Amino acid sequence: MRHLLSAADLARDEALQILQTAEQMHQVQDREVKKLPALRGRTIVNLFFEDSTRTRSSFEIAGKWLSADVINVSAKGSSVSKGESLRDTVMTVAAMGVDGLVIRHHASGAPQQVAQWVDAMVVNAGDGTHEHPTQALLDAYTIRRRIGDLDGRHVAIVGDLTHSRVVRSNLILLRTLGAHVTLVAPPTLMPSGVGAWAKEDGFDTSYDLDEVLPQVDVAMMLRVQKERMSGGYFPTPREYTVGYGLTRERLKVLPEHAVICHPGPMNRGLEITADAADEARSLILDQVSAGVAVRMSVLYHLLASSEGAEK
């Protein structure tokens, strides 16, 4: 594996290998000295053209715990704010001899384009409304730690599917790992062409959360991305919560063994209530913790393994 640009880049064996390595990396978080020498001498640049807390911080910690030299570059304060193009920015950074680029960009497909321009390893940390493969990996890792193998498990992905980059990556990876996936959203927030997509890739869609919820092993709630919306996708926030929010009442019909996920940040009181976010079945903080371990694993496989390190 040369880059990680999409969840589709991962065969089942490769995904499982990353998840298994993440188990070992997770143990580092409990050590007094949180350092491994695996990437000593390597340089990783985090290029973030959109705001981020969890992803950027976890990639930075992951690189540093693997002993890499990590440099953070954001659009604000860089030459991008002076009008420099994405190509010129990444070519300039790559010319300094860096080994890896972790990129978040508002344009879908930007990391794929960057990977064609540079010799360095490229990881997609989220591109527009397209994909976020490491988020899908950490979600799968977190769920597997709680309920075991995903083969045959039923996962409902609920919420703003139109504007989410998480849904595509999770759908691809969960299907790769053998899970059955149902996408749940109001008609206005269901992706365009989802019917043909579902038929081709073998997943289900529904507009009725209350019908799906009693059958699931995992309820994955997605944030309503108000900053990406222009126009009325639903009448009022209250009506959205009534129809598609994980509320106290819906917790009662969620199976006892089922778990709750949310990639964050959350709109408490909109797509998920405080009762659901903070209850015992919630894995939301576990997902944050897993982010470092999974991203350590990804960086290790791309830069430390003999295959991933080949230029």
In the annotated binding site for carbamoyl phosphate, the residues are 54-55, 104, 132, 135, 264-265
Known binding positions for L-aspartate: 82, 165, 223
Known binding positions: 54-55, 82, 104, 132, 135, 165, 223, 264-265
The four Cα atoms 150, 132, 236, 221 give a dihedral, to 10 degrees, of 20
The 3-state DSSP composition of the chain as helix, strand, coil percent (nearest 5) reads 45, 15, 40
Q: Token pair 């944050």 is at which residue?
A: 288
Instruction: Please check whether residue 266 is in contact with residue 223, taking contact to mean a CB–CB distance below 8 angstroms.
Output: yes
What span, in angstroms and rounded, lies between the C-alpha atoms of 311 and 309?
6
**Residue 301 DSSP one-character state:** I
Instruction: Please check whether residue 42 is in contact with residue 99, taking contact to mean a CB–CB distance below 8 angstroms.
Output: yes
What span, in angstroms and rounded, lies between the C-alpha atoms of 133 and 167?
10
For residue 79, give the amino acid letter. Answer: S
* DSSP string across 106-142: SSTTHHHHHHHH-SSEEEEEEETTTB-HHHHHHHHHH
For 102, residues 6+ apart whose C-beta sits below 8 A from its C-beta are: 44, 45, 46, 47, 59, 122, 123, 125
Q: Token pair 């408490």 is at which residue?
A: 268
